[in-house]
């Protein structure tokens, strides 16, 4: 079994949930997934990086973040809301203009399967 950690380390009480195959995610494009009761947006970036944040836009409460615009600020990967263009850090979920942020989820890929910890 091979394991590749794709985002920040998860706490030791992590419960990983399989979401999709890594090959199902297109680079620089978001996909929405319902994991338990959580709507998440998954983003695969060049180099095999995968990030997961909440799919609910904090400003409008619409489930649209998976359709956001992938970009970067310096070396930090970002996602801009498709509605009001608020920009969020994909690693931490922080709003770069100081507003309410997105929830960021630990992500890993095991044997080509993307797993997310929604309990973190």
Q: What is the pLDDT of residues 77-97, one digit of tens each?
A: 999 999 999 999 999 999 999
If the chain, 120 residues long, is cut into consecutive pieces of 10 residues, what is the mean pLDDT of each piece? Answer: 47 82 96 94 94 97 97 96 96 95 96 92
Topology (CATH level 3) of domain 3-116: Rieske Iron-sulfur Protein (2.102.10)
**Where in the chain are the domains?**
3-116
Tokens in use for 64?
């649209």
What pTM was estimated for this model as a whole?
Answer: 0.86
């Amino acid at each position: 079994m091979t394991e590749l950690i794709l985002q920040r380390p998860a706490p030791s009480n992590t419960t990983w949930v399989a979401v999709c195959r890594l090959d199902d995610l297109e680079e620089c494009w978001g996909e929405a997934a319902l994991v338990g009761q959580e709507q998440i947006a998954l983003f695969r970036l060049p180099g095999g990086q995968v990030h997961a944040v909440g799919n609910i836009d904090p400003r409008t409460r619409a489930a649209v973040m998976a359709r956001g615009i992938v970009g970067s600020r310096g070396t930090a990967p970002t996602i801009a809301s498709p509605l009001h263009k608020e920009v969020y850090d994909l690693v931490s979920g922080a709003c770069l203009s100081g507003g309410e942020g997105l929830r960021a989820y630990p992500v890993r890929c095991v044997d080509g399967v993307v797993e997310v910890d929604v309990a973190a």
